[in-house]
Structure 1
Amino acid sequence: MSLLHGEHGEHGEHGEHGEGASGRSANDGLMAAALMRSRDAIVGTETIAPQAGQEATLEPAERLRRMDPEFRRAVLLSELLEDIAFQVEDYSPKRATARAVTVLRRKAGGGAIKHLPLARIARPEVADLGHAAPLVAAYAELRADRLAEILVQRAFLIPFVASILPLTPARAPAVIEMLETGLDIVTPVVMRVKIALGCPRPSQFSPLIQPMIAEPGHPALPSGHATQLFTVATMLAQLMDPGAAVISDSQLYRLACRIAINRTVAGVHFPADSAAGAVLGIQLGRYLMARGQGGTVGSAGFDGTAFRDADQPRDFHYGILDQMVKGGDPAAEFPADGSAVRPAPLWQSLCRRAEQEWQTRWS
């Protein structure tokens, strides 16, 4: 599991009911010995006469439901990632890091495989990040107040969403599984962007930052936590109202902003990291739900070199998010260029069950 979100299969607190993964008991050896002895007692030396078999009758979506959760997740991730590609833009003259990375998604329709931009993320200049280091240091004043949140959010994210919406394991298992899959797909996407852009962490600019938690061993921008929470917030917003716009001051997006800001409070991320994660997360959430519900998705962009106010570093909060999604921020763009995406049949089957759970949540 990615350290970005910990063992998020436990987020809904619907683990294996006291047992290990896939229903394994606490003592596999004892169980195996008991089953062997039981078989010897009731089978004896009888010769086996195999029963006549038959062809499978279940469609792939129904077969998927019979798989163990971790293998079901692997199938869904494979289906969803097969349409995603990456385009790297180098500096001129070339540097060790890329100037920008565009996450691409496959164009709908037959014929030759073509890709369209989903989200372009351009890195800030190192000097811009350096100017923002004092802002990160100032956030340290909030560490004691947010200690519990920051520590818990290293491993668990969905419970914070479930405190806003009625998402319990007994009543919304498909919704929770849908969100967990969304969290999982963020990891390979965001890591490809991070490794290409190679942006430093705040502590690299000053020994006075002193992060309150262990600093992740990968580049900073975009923030993985921000990308995950904005992905989840967008998925839920689309589940409730397909095609809905981002409502920056809604509880879901306020939560996403708060968790992103908590990573700055902890001293491991710049506000620009969160802003980039917000753009990428919104786009991934829209992409995932378009593949599961139908509909369209457009492109978006984040330009780290424009994420500043004149010569001053810019902060990130839901007021800034509101400017970004409404076209009032030079660092972000969400053009009206939506087009259809290819359906993902297995993912669609999970999204349909999630939609049914949401529609019957009052029952």
Structure 2
Amino acid sequence: MSLLNAQNAQNAQNAQNAQNAQNAQNAQGAGSGEGSSMMAMALLRTRDAIVGAELITPEAGTPSSLDMAGRLERLDGDHRAAVIAGELLEDISFTFEDYTPAETTCRTATVLRRTTDGDALNASYTPFAEITRPGLAEFSAAAQMVANYAELRADRSAEIQVQTQHLIPFFASIMPMEPSRAPAIREALFTALDMATFVVMRVKLALGCPRPTQFTDRIQPMISCPTHATLPSGHSTQAFTLATLLSLLQDPDAEVQPDSQLYRLACRIAINRTVAGVHFPADSAAGAVLGIQLGRYMFQRARAEITGSGELGHASFDGSKFTDGAHPRDFHYAILNEMTTGADPSASFPVAKTPVRPAPMWGSLAKRAAEEWGQRWS
């Protein structure tokens, strides 16, 4: 076929595809798409015409040839997400430490994971992320820093507004994961976003930390201020969960590299929430610790399923120590580097690790994601 003929054939195919798309749109608009009442009536009439009142002879049927992971792939996306999230969450629990004397909010929230010992009725748990809130004095002192960040709003307005709804496209601009070539990777990332939301909201509720706008009427956020508590930052938790998962996808033994593009992006997403006027720098720092640990938790549970060996340590963040002497502390990737290397008193990432339980359903998705990454040059 000549180049011109090939082009004509392609043009014809494109025209046909466009016509099919238009026909589908017209049918839906006319009320005859899948799920419409007109479609249901048409199907009903068709069956009456070609089946009528004939007696049917059912097939005997055969046992399923797919295991649970194989059947999982056949579910609709939202149902598959529910199964995987349920599997990952069933091993997570929380404990809370009160102030003395007790207040309505707790001082420390600890996220625990189920260990490999014991059955479901006698399960034991071990901590993997511990978050201690700053006091009101530390939050109040940091309000001026939040106000100073307002100077960057005009420059970052587009990012801030888009990031209220979308984070994955920013990571996809760093790593090749187009929807048609990396569906499992992207599905894994959406699962990570959900996991981060489930966990961080529980911690936020327990710690009950106030927003910057509650300390002064001069912050005037550029976006709607969320009604839930401020620390840890949900955007920071989500961004660092994604950065950690993607970093481990590239290198299963990778440590946090604050100067890498993935972690620079996570820092910027977190900082943008301070620029917007809805978060303190300490919120971002707490979210970074929680997000890193959640990313590791998810990766190691998949690794335990795929390779038979996955281990996770315990990290902590103490907001009462997130200061520069008598002054509030900022957050950026240089600070993150201090936090992850033991040079910052507010954060701790001990080396000791213990085994995690395998997660078969999540592991099947993670395995497909790893295969997609391995085929990225194809």
TM bucket (normalised to shorter chain) is over 0.9
Aligned to 1:3: none
* Correspondence 1:1-363 to 2 at 5 A: 25=33, 28-110=36-118, 112-294=122-304, 295-363=310-378
- Cα deviation, residue 55, structure 1: 1.9
- Cα deviation, residue 109, structure 1: 3.5
Identity %: 59
Q: Describe the SS at the equivalent of 2:200.
A: helix
- Cα deviation, residue 270, structure 1: 0.3
- Cα deviation, residue 26, structure 1: 7.2
Cα gap change, 1:195 to 1:41, in 2 (>3 Å): same
- Cα deviation, residue 243, structure 1: 2.1
Residues 130-184 of structure 1: per-residue CA shift (max 9 Å, x gap)? 0000000011111111111011001111000000000111111110011110111
Residues 231-250 of structure 1: per-residue CA shift (max 9 Å, x gap)? 01000111111121000010
Distance 2:127 2:118 in 1: 18
* 8 Å Cα contact 2:117/2:124 also seen in 1: no
Distance 2:224 2:52 in 1: 58
- Cα deviation, residue 110, structure 1: 4.1
Q: Which moved more, 1:43-52 or 1:72-81?
A: 43-52
Q: Which moved more, 1:346-355 or 1:62-71?
A: 346-355
Q: Highest Rg: 1 or 2?
A: 2
* 8 Å Cα contact 1:109/1:342 also seen in 2: no
Name the aligned partner's letter for residue 302 of structure 1.
Answer: F
Q: Which segments of 5 or more consecutive residues in structure 1 lack a partner in the other structure? A: 1-16
Aligned residues: 344
Residues 258-300 of structure 1: per-residue CA shift (max 9 Å, x gap)? 0000000000000000000000000000000000013211000
Q: Describe the SS at the equivalent of 1:187.
A: helix
Residues 27-71 of structure 1: per-residue CA shift (max 9 Å, x gap)? 622322222222222212212222112222210000000000000
Name the aligned partner's letter for residue 89 of structure 2.
Answer: L
Distance 2:213 2:269 in 1: 20
* 8 Å Cα contact 1:222/1:274 also seen in 2: yes
* 8 Å Cα contact 2:99/2:106 also seen in 1: yes
Distance 1:113 1:189 in 2: 20
Distance 1:352 1:26 in 2: 33
Q: Which segments of 5 or more consecutive residues in structure 2 lack a partner in the other structure? A: 1-23, 305-309
Aligned to 1:4: none
- Cα deviation, residue 102, structure 1: 0.3
Q: Describe the SS at the equivalent of 2:317.
A: strand
Distance 2:223 2:109 in 1: 28
* 8 Å Cα contact 1:89/1:99 also seen in 2: yes
Distance 1:279 1:272 in 2: 11
Name the aligned partner's letter for residue 303 of structure 2.
Answer: Q
Distance 1:292 1:307 in 2: 33
Cα gap change, 1:139 to 1:26, in 2 (>3 Å): farther
RMSD across aligned C-alpha pairs, in angstroms?
1.6
Distance 2:46 2:342 in 1: 69
Distance 2:46 2:301 in 1: 48
Structure possessing the higher relative contact order (Cα contacts under 8 Å, 6 or more residues apart): 1
Name the aligned partner's letter for residue 86 of structure 1.
Answer: F
Aligned to 1:5: none
Name the aligned partner's letter for residue 45 of structure 2.
Answer: R
Distance 1:118 1:138 in 2: 34
* 8 Å Cα contact 2:118/2:124 also seen in 1: no
Distance 2:33 2:221 in 1: 40
Name the aligned partner's letter for residue 354 of structure 1.
Answer: A
Q: Describe the SS at the equivalent of 2:97.
A: strand
Distance 2:140 2:288 in 1: 21
Q: Describe the SS at the equivalent of 1:80.
A: helix
Name the aligned partner's letter for residue 65 of structure 2.
Answer: T
Taking structure 1 as the reference length, the TM-score comes to 0.92
